[in-house]
Chain A
Amino acid sequence: MKQSELLRVENLRTYFYSQGRTVRAVEDVSFSVQQGSTVCLVGESGSGKSATAFSILNLIPKSMGRVVAGKVLYGGEDLLRISQRRQRTILGNEIAMIFQEPAAALNPVCTVGEQIAEVLRTHKQCSAREARRQAKAMLDRVGIPDAQRRLDDYPHQLSGGMRQRAMIAIALSCRPKLLIADEPTTALDATVQSQILGLLHELQADTGMALLFITHDLSVVAEIADRVLVMYAGRIVEEGDVMQIFDDPWMPYTRGLLKARPGLHSGDGSSRRLSAVPGDPPDLANLSIGCSFRPRCCHAAADCAYRPPDLETVRGHSVRCMHWRQIVEAAGEPEAVL
């Protein structure tokens, strides 16, 4: 099956301005999302994942910062340069978004049914009755039991998992082609998390939508991703198919992240200590010219401090490190991490 490109982000740059400092939240980010595929954006807190998502939708609050450069191509249009009116016909309709905290992302004074119906009525010309009927169908679809009654519930009357299901119902009510999910499972407990992931997967298979999934949880990535983007300090530091990233990580940062995952260990029962990536992420307002991961990198060499590494691509697998070949060779056989 030939896949075609749904969204392409080119050289996106988003800066935030606070207290006279310029925070380079997103620096020269380029990637594309194929129709019906799942792209995972992985990184630590503050690595620019959410800023990237909001930049794509051109919804960075003007009081905080702005997208200073780049293109977001969707259906032949640059989402950063279309009129607000045109943008509103795309958002919620063709591109939808779900958030980390479903409790905060639902309007506390509107019922769930009203909130689904509102999106439907904004984008599709339909009567209130028809919107309500479709809202019920959506709640059924996302697996909320007793949907007819839940339509008239307020968000606080639902459990955390139910709220995220309701949020998904709102986002998918207009059958978008792309769903941007900003850490949708982070606030949920593990069993609910896997239910929600299963649901997203199922809905994706049903509707053929693409998913841009933002997370810091590598086990989630392993479960759902087709393609993985690893972000560090506002830049993409490694990009590849999910197997490439998990079986053969090239960037020292990605290798560190994979080692920092807890896992089950066989044998004598002694548990391995998790190896954390040492140090803290750099101050994005005050980046040095060299590799931004250098201060935390155990393979750092002298030239890392002077020359910014470029993104180097081999067989669809990109890495932003000057010494990745030596590092991968020295490490020998990659650890089986999957």
Chain B
Amino acid sequence: MSIDIRVSEPIVGETEDKLVLAPPRRGRPPAARIISLSILFLMILLALAAPAITPHDISEQSLLSRLQPPVFAGGTDDHPLGTDHLGRDVFSRLLFATRTTLFIAFAGVFIGVVAGTLGGLISGTLGGWADQCLSAVVDAQAAVPTTLVALTAVALAGTHPLVLVLIIGFSDYYRYARIVRGQVVALQGRSFIEAARCSGASPWRIAMRHVLPNTFSPVVVLASLSFAEIVVLESSLSFLGVGVQPPNVSLGSLLGEARNYLISTPWLAIFPCVVIVMITVAAATIGDWLRASLDPRSRT
């Protein structure tokens, strides 16, 4: 007769390590995020440094060397991306165009976000007739095509760059206003807002500290999406000739100039197109990632 005493094996470090699972991956694969971030940073960097690194003045013409191909298609090192119909350096013009377009897009998004968020916050917080008036304005603007508004405004106010920035900024503030107002109204019934009221917070304080931060997540997502759209809108306006005026260049005006040479020298159109696509895709990807990381529920 024996008593079987089993001593349980102590768990050694090795087994412990195996038990620890790797934290699950969330969101998009990081590769897309890293590439997008690098593209956007590179674009911003190039845009900021444009005056220092352009090999030629953007208005410097040379009719003798017009429509030269890019260097990989048999061109010279002097014009790495070739020349346009007036012999101007495409590389230099592309850098400046990116600079202009990015500036307008950032300024436009900023104006839209600030105006829209404030409008939505005021509208949703006040309620009543103030809400109805603001909502009516917002709905009215949403019903009119942006390009039409922009064309009219340019026809009336001229093509000053500031006018363009304002038009683009106010072209989509209504989307922020709507989404923020919706959030504000939805939040009014939430119990943490009631709790704030119960703890003696003033309406202003509740709006700024409890309501506003809870609307950021959709605003950021919308901003990144509309950043892409604003790049396209600016390009369309400039393409139509009512946007950025010579001697300034934007990606849209480059495209506009290139449209007569689509068959003979397609690179003139391809380069600005590639830049537009890169910026818009990168912005949308980053917006998606921001949404995932800004949502406190998905934070670890």
Is A88 in contact with B194, judged by CB distance below 8 angstroms?
no
Per-residue CB proximity of B185-218 to A under 8 Å, as 1/0? 0001011101111111110010001100110100
In the complex the two chains form, what is the Cα distance from A61 to B191 in whole Å?
A: 12
User: Are A89 and B198 touching (Cβ within 8 A)?
Assistant: no
Per-residue contact bits, chain B 213-241, to A (CB 8 Å; 1 contact, 0 not): 11010000000000000000000000000
Measured between alpha carbons, how far is A232 from B127 in the docked complex, in Å?
34
Chain A CB count within 10 A is highest, among B188, B214, B296, B297, for B296
Within 8 Å of chain B (Cβ to Cβ): is A96?
A: yes
Considering only residues 84-116 of chain A, those with a C-beta below 8 Å from chain B are 87-93, 96-97, 99-101, 104-110
- Which residues from 114 to 131 on chain B have a C-beta closer than 8 Å to any C-beta of chain A? 127
Contact between B201 and A118, CB atoms less than 8 A apart: yes
| Shortest distance from the beta carbon of B126 to any chain A beta carbon, whole Å | 12
CA distance A198 to B196 in the complex (A): 25
Q: What chain B residues lie within 8 Å of A109 (beta carbons)?
A: 213-214, 216, 296
In angstroms, Cα B300 to Cα A156, docked, is 10
Contacts of A122 in B (CB 8 A): 199-201, 205
Task: Return the contact of B197 from the options A90, A91, A110 (Cβ within 8 A).
Answer: A91
A-chain residues with CB within 8 Å of residue B188 when the two chains form the complex:
61
In the complex, residue of chain A having the shortest beta-carbon distance to the beta carbon of B215: A109
Identify the closest chain A residue to B213 (Cβ): A109
Whole-angstrom distance between the Cβ of A156 and the nearest chain B Cβ:
5
Question: How far apart sit A92 and B196, CA to CA, in the bound complex (Å)?
Answer: 9
Q: Does B299 contact A (CB under 8 A)?
A: yes
**A109: nearest residue on chain B (CB-CB)?**
B213
A59-B198 CB under 8 A given contacts A99-B191, A107-B192? yes
* Interface residue? A51 (CB, 8 A): no
**A contact residues around B190 at 8 Å (CB):** 104
For window 53-68 of chain A, which residues contact chain B by CB distance below 8 Å? 57, 59, 61, 63
Chain A residues lying within 8 Å of B213, measured Cβ to Cβ, are: 107, 109-110
Question: Taking chain B's interface residues, is the majority helix, strand, or loop, or is none over half, making it mixed?
Answer: helix
Whether the pair A88, B201 counts as a contact (CB closer than 8 A) is yes
CA distance A171 to B194 in the complex (A): 13
Judge whether A29 is part of the interface by a CB distance below 8 angstroms: no
Are B201 and A105 neighbours in the complex by a CB distance under 8 Å? no
The A-contacting residues of B in range 250-300, CB under 8 angstroms, are 296-297, 299
User: B198 and A96: CB pair below 8 A?
Assistant: yes
B194 and A59 contact, CB distance less than 8 A:
yes
With A108-B297, A156-B297 given, is the CB distance from A119 to B194 under 8 Å? no
Q: Find out whether the CB atom of B209 lies under 8 angstroms from the CB atom of A154.
A: no
Question: How far, in angstroms, from A144 to B201 measured CA to CA in the complex?
Answer: 25
Tell me which of B194, B205, B209, B214 contacts A99 (CB under 8 A): B194
Instruction: Compute how far the CA of A122 lies from the CA of B194 in the bound complex, rounded to whole angstroms.
Output: 16
A89-B200, A118-B209 known; A105+B195 contact, CB < 8 A: yes
Task: Report A182 CB to chain B, min CB distance, Å.
Answer: 9
Closest to B197 in A: A59
Task: Please name 15 pairs of A and B residues whose Cβ atoms are closer than 8 Å in the assembled complex, sorted by A.
Answer: A59-B197, A88-B202, A91-B197, A91-B198, A97-B198, A99-B195, A104-B190, A105-B192, A106-B195, A108-B192, A108-B214, A110-B209, A110-B213, A122-B205, A170-B199
Q: Which residues of A contact B (CB under 8 A)?
A: 57, 59, 61, 63, 87-93, 96-97, 99-101, 104-110, 118-119, 122-123, 154, 156, 167, 170-171
Q: A107-B214, A108-B192, A122-B201 are in contact. List 16 more A-B contacts (CB 8 A).
A: A89-B200, A91-B198, A96-B198, A97-B199, A104-B192, A105-B194, A107-B213, A108-B296, A109-B213, A109-B214, A110-B209, A118-B209, A122-B205, A154-B296, A154-B299, A156-B296
